[in-house]
């Protein structure tokens, strides 16, 4: 099978992913194999490839927003039939027995495994995953538009929940791309007013097109204080900027898996019960709820496509914020 493989972490500018022909993986007990149609691009892929996240295994096939069709069932795999449309997301496995799993917080499981990080992912023609962590996807929806839902959508949705934003609240989004453009739509459907902070004029324009009531840069003064905020950019310096715009008692959710250092924060920015909280991974319940909402709203995924062998170029564009919203690798027809 054709696959894009990382041998050693390096800056994406050096094009560290190499196209290789590999033997397709066979599903183990309880697993299914997907023939991959497409795989979304994510900033977490960049963090893995560039070494911001320590690599637990090498060589590695990245990618964790995988859309495909089931083509092989492993022994004991249930809930799926060959030929069904399905998706694989970031959270690949949890032990189900630790205190976090038993408390409904499987996203915090200390033994968790992750697609495209602790196991090979979707930058390839085939991918395997435990059937219990694979999601049914509608066969009548464009596969390219489904791919961003499987991480960008899910993590944005979890961040929205943890921000505490409710109907009528003013929600600020810092950074605007694959995740934020989907979160904006969910927030609007829930009755929030959304304000977007991004340097890119094109991203500001897209935000307004999708229903933002205001768009500007993090240095601009918004028309009113925020009830809640989410930072999608892995930039620690945005944290005090966001706190400055947050009302007393409001929550700032940090949606990235890693972030540059947060600078010293004057206590008055945090005082009056403002809250900063990180967002870690997702639960399967998050994913299932987001996929239901995506069909009901319905969510509009803005995608730019690349061929599998263009993965380095695509990720370079993602890092430089040259994508309008989400990027997707087209793997097969």
CATH number at residue 115: 3.90.180.10
In a shared domain, residues 164 and 216 = yes
- Domain residue limits at 113: 2-140+302-330
In a shared domain, residues 135 and 161 = no
In a shared domain, residues 10 and 75 = yes
Q: How many domains does the chain have?
A: 2
In a shared domain, residues 88 and 204 = no
User: Which of 263, 278, 293 is the endpoint of a domain?
Assistant: 278
Report the phi/psi class of residue 185: left, alpha or beta, with left for phi > 0 and alpha for psi in -120 to 50.
alpha
In a shared domain, residues 135 and 21 = yes
- Amino acid 214: pLDDT: 98
Quick check: is 27 in a domain? yes
In a shared domain, residues 28 and 130 = yes
Quick check: is 94 in a domain? yes
- Amino acid 333: pLDDT: 67
- Amino acid 166: pLDDT: 96
In a shared domain, residues 12 and 126 = yes
Quick check: is 145 in a domain? no
In a shared domain, residues 234 and 131 = no
- Amino acid 55: pLDDT: 82
Give yes or no for a contact between 90 and 151, defined as CB atoms under 8 angstroms apart: yes
In a shared domain, residues 11 and 135 = yes
Q: How far is CA 40 from CA 219, 250, 271, in A?
A: 31, 32, 39
Task: Dig out the tokens for 48 from the structure.
Answer: 């893995």
Quick check: is 285 in a domain? no
CATH code assigned at 239: 3.40.50.720
Quick check: is 290 in a domain? no
Quick check: is 294 in a domain? no
pTM surpassing 0.85? yes
In a shared domain, residues 119 and 56 = yes
Quick check: is 297 in a domain? no
Where do we find the tokens 């929940």? 161
Return d(Cα 42, Cα 152) in angstroms, integer: 7
User: Which of 237, 262, 278 is the endpoint of a domain?
Assistant: 278
Tens-digit pLDDT string for the chain (333 aa): 999 999 999 999 999 999 999 999 999 999 999 999 999 999 999 999 999 998 889 999 999 999 999 999 999 999 999 999 999 999 999 999 999 999 999 999 999 999 999 999 999 999 999 999 999 999 999 999 999 999 999 999 999 999 999 999 999 999 999 999 999 999 999 999 999 999 999 999 999 999 999 999 999 999 999 999 999 999 999 999 999 999 999 999 999 999 999 999 999 999 999 999 999 999 999 999 999 999 999 999 999 999 999 999 999 999 999 999 999 999 996
Beta bridge partners of 115: 119
Quick check: is 165 in a domain? yes
In a shared domain, residues 99 and 9 = yes
- Amino acid 76: pLDDT: 95
In a shared domain, residues 88 and 178 = no
């Amino acid at each position: 099978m054709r696959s894009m493989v990382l041998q050693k972490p390096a800056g994406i500018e050096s094009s560290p992913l190499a196209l290789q022909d590999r033997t397709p993986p066979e599903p183990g007990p309880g697993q299914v194999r997907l023939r991959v149609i497409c795989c979304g691009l994510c900033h977490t892929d960049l963090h893995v490839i560039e070494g911001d996240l320590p690599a637990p295994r090498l060589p590695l096939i990245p990618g964790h927003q995988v859309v495909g069709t089931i083509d092989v069932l492993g022994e004991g795999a249930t809930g799926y039939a060959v030929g069904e449309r399905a998706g694989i997301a970031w959270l690949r496995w949890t032990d189900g027995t630790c205190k976090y799993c038993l408390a409904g917080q499987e996203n915090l499981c200390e033994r968790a495994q992750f697609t495209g990080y602790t196991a090979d992912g979707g930058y390839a023609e085939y991918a395997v995953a435990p059937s219990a962590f694979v999601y049914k996807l509608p066969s009548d929806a464009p596969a390219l538009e489904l791919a961003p839902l499987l991480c960008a959508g899910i993590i944005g949705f979890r961040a929205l929940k943890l921000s505490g934003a409710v109907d009528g609240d003013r929600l600020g989004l810092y950074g605007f791309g694959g995740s934020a453009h989907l979160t904006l739509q969910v927030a609007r459907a829930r009755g929030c007013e959304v304000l977007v902070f991004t340097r890119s004029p094109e991203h500001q324009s897209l935000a307004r097109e999708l229903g933002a009531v205001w768009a500007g840069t993090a240095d601009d003064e918004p028309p009113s204080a925020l009830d809640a905020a989410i930072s999608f950019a892995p930039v620690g310096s945005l944290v005090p900027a966001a706190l400055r715009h947050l009302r007393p008692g409001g929550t700032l959710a940090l949606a990235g898996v890693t972030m540059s250092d947060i600078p010293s924060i004057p206590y008055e920015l945090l005082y009056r019960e403002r809250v900063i909280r990180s967002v870690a991974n997702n639960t399967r319940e998050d994913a299932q709820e987001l996929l239901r909402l995506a069909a009901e709203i319905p969510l509009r995924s803005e995608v730019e496509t690349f061929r599998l062998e263009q993965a380095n170029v695509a990720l370079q564009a993602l890092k430089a914020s040259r994508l309008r919203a989400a990027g997707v690798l087209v793997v097969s027809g």
